[in-house]
Chain A
Amino acid sequence: MSLAKISSVSGRAVAVPGNDIDTDRIIPARFMKCVTFDGLGEFLFYDVRKNADGSDRSHPLNDPRFKGATILLSGANFGCGSSREHAPQAIQKYGFKAIVAENFAEIFFGNCTTLGMPCLSAKREDIAILSAAVEANPGIEVTLDLVKQEIRFGGQRISATLRDSARDALVNGRWDAIGELLEGRNAVAVRARTLPYLAA
């Protein structure tokens, strides 16, 4: 399986501010009643984006100035809560290619990486600077550089971090582990034989 080498992501950005944005907020559980991930994008942030009658509420994703944004900006502990991959899938299917936040919940971070969607951490002040620039000029091109671990926009640059294992996986096109895991088949069988509960 050959996967894209993701060393940078460029595009327009949109800020969905707030800390502890949990996976129930990202994709409410009732939309998880599905047997494929197709079509999940339209339910992204549904309960904060829509009124009960389905009409739009005021939300950055409903703001026409930010239509077509591919980089999502947010606060601390983004993606906390459930392990549901429906959350990163909804973000990706909506059209996002990367997320920048202060930090991320563990399982969510891993899920995003496996989908080839980088999650970069930046300092709160720096995200505020970036968000302000995007607010002032929604068309501004934002570039996330995974190799240099920095974000560039309109002549400015801020630093952003990505843990080594995830950066390596994305940059070298190994973000989906399945190919490499399959190659280890024989070693797996050998290991399994050493464990009584698996040898039986």
Chain B
Amino acid sequence: MAQSLFQKVWNAHAVRTLANGQTQLLIGTHLIHEVTSPQAFGMLRDLGLKVAMPHRTFATVDHIVPTDQFAEPYRDPLAQAMMDELRRNCAQFGITFFDRSTGRQGIVHIVGPEQGITQPGTTIACGDSHTSTHGAFGAIAFGIGTSQVRDVLATQTMALAPLKVRRIEVNGRLRPGVYAKDVILHIIRVLGVNGGTGYAYEYAGNIFDGFSMEERMTVCNMSIEGGARVGYVNPDETTFAYLKGRPYSPKGEAWDKAVALWKSYASDPGCAYDDVFRIDAADIAPTVTWGINPGQGISINESIPDPRNAGAPDEKASIEEALAYMKLKPGAPIKGTRIDVAFLGSCTNGRLSDFREVARFVKGRKVAAGVKAIAVPGSQIVALQCEKEGIDKVLSEAGFEWRAAGCSMCLAMNPDKLIGDQICASSSNRNFKGRQGSITGRTILMSPLMVAAAAVTGQVADAREVFSLNN
């Protein structure tokens, strides 16, 4: 019977059915970082358990690392304690740790693919909701809680019920200035922030076929913002070309065998889906958020919603709450909203292609007076590649601070934070209240090029106009 990739990978990793009807699912690859693993190792010690397959767990450090300080101890003793704890746990249990000294450190969802650890047809888990990123390779990748991190460490499995599968097809042509980030912001806007609950999203259509791995990762990354725990793209030649020659990719004869197997995992034509949703690529515009969840997005030329036009009372209340927090005027254009900070980076848009694209357009331009602009590569390898290509210079000359790899201003666990009610044009993935480190700080999500446009104009702007892209 024709099957989807989700079903095939699930079946290949299902160990047995548990008493409560859930499946004991083998997790081939486990990624860990400093925030959600120490408690799990603590539980492991309390129970007197060992790590079942230490060679299948890989660690990096990302959330708490300062991006302007390399030498330890860090200024924040709590950050240093978390760093030390991760080192101790990896050493004690025999786990590979991409520490900063290895030159391979970075945001966990950037490191996995970069190292060739993320592979098609595998199951991946990580104590981080953006683990869905790895689905770009045709893996089934779950964000999990700390107790499940413990389960995976102790047994290399976890208890889970299968998901339904919704195929989201985007076909047609994207207009100039419309990026993968806009595609996913549009999908979330249309299907809602919890539209994906209970589903794995299979992204397909000629837009995804034509996307690079980096673009696919940007979309899969934010599946969770649409409520879908898992998002994936079927593996194809683009996937294989990306993986070839990476440190953990199969070599020689094993490579050919692996590719043949990987191909077999792709969804069969004509397989059944629980739901299919189609989007015309031409309907997608550069999209920005105006509110306090990623579903509160509009295209750059639309006005900020007015609660008086809201349908349900619920919707009215949520618009009012968002506008009160964002201090934005109902009915006003979003374009022209003054910004204080521009942030380029995160596991959504902190890859080489993102910085290349920005550098191409900001070359010779200047960040507007009064705007603090920071560019934070997602990994040390991204940083090095950018430096080789002179991208760091272009960005620094434009007035961006070029930082060291980490999560940085995506969330408030390191020194990069908003102050007071600053507004940040951000290439990250979450605009929740207080997300960027100040309890009154405001976030507007957008694509990296839109962040660049905001940085050079000092306001939310249409990158197509600012950089004269042909519309």
Given contacts A19-B314, A19-B318, A81-B432, contact A110 B18 (CB under 8 A): no
How many B residues face the partner with a CB closer than 8 A? 77
**Please, which residues of chain A bring their CB within 8 A of the CB of B148?**
110-111, 114
Q: Which of A33, A80, A168, A182 contacts B227 (CB 8 A)?
A: A80
- Structural contact, A29 and B21, CB atoms closer than 8 A: no
Q: Is A82 an interface residue (CB 8 A)?
A: yes
Q: Is B206 an interface residue (CB 8 A)?
A: no
**Please, which residues of chain B bring their CB within 8 A of the CB of A115?**
147
**Please, which residues of chain A bring their CB within 8 A of the CB of B19?**
168, 172, 174, 180
**Please, which residues of chain B bring their CB within 8 A of the CB of A126?**
none
Which of the segments A5-13, A34-42, A136-144 contacts the partner chain?
A: A34-42
- Structural contact, B12 and A180, CB atoms closer than 8 A: no
- Structural contact, B432 and A88, CB atoms closer than 8 A: no
Map CB proximity to B onto A106-127 as digits: 1 under 8 Å, 0 otherwise. 1100110011000000000000
- Structural contact, B129 and A197, CB atoms closer than 8 A: no
- Structural contact, A181 and B194, CB atoms closer than 8 A: no
- Structural contact, A105 and B432, CB atoms closer than 8 A: no
Which of the segments B34-42, B167-175, B365-373 contacts the partner chain?
A: B34-42
Q: Is B282 an interface residue (CB 8 A)?
A: no
Q: Which of A20, A110, A188 contacts B193 (CB 8 A)?
A: A20
Map CB proximity to A onto B24-37 as digits: 1 under 8 Å, 0 otherwise. 10101000000110
Q: How large is the interface on A (under 10, 10 to 19, 20 to 34, 35 or more residues)?
A: 35 or more
**Complex Cα spacing A29 to B21, Å:** 34
Question: A-B contact count, CB below 8 Å?
Answer: 198
B261-285 residues with Cβ-Cβ distance < 8 A to A are: 261
Map CB proximity to B onto A27-52 as digits: 1 under 8 Å, 0 otherwise. 01110111111000000000100001
Q: Is B96 an interface residue (CB 8 A)?
A: no
Q: Which of A33, A88, A107, A178 contacts B150 (CB 8 A)?
A: A178
Q: Tell me the smallest distance from the CB of B99 to a CB of chain A, in Å.
A: 17
Q: Is B119 an interface residue (CB 8 A)?
A: yes
Q: Which of A18, A32, A81, A165 contacts B413 (CB 8 A)?
A: A32
Q: Is B434 an interface residue (CB 8 A)?
A: yes
Q: Tell me the smallest distance from the CB of B406 to a CB of chain A, in Å.
A: 14
Given contacts A33-B79, A192-B156, A194-B12, contact A106 B198 (CB under 8 A): yes
> Can you offer 29 A-B residue contacts whose CB atoms are under 8 A?
A28-B412, A29-B411, A29-B412, A29-B435, A30-B437, A33-B76, A47-B433, A47-B439, A77-B193, A80-B193, A84-B146, A105-B194, A107-B129, A107-B229, A168-B21, A176-B147, A180-B159, A181-B157, A182-B49, A184-B24, A188-B157, A191-B14, A191-B15, A192-B26, A195-B28, A196-B254, A197-B122, A197-B258, A198-B26
11 more contacts with CB within 8 A, not counting A84-B146, A178-B151, A181-B151, are A24-B434, A25-B432, A80-B194, A84-B35, A103-B197, A164-B21, A177-B159, A188-B52, A188-B156, A192-B26, A197-B119
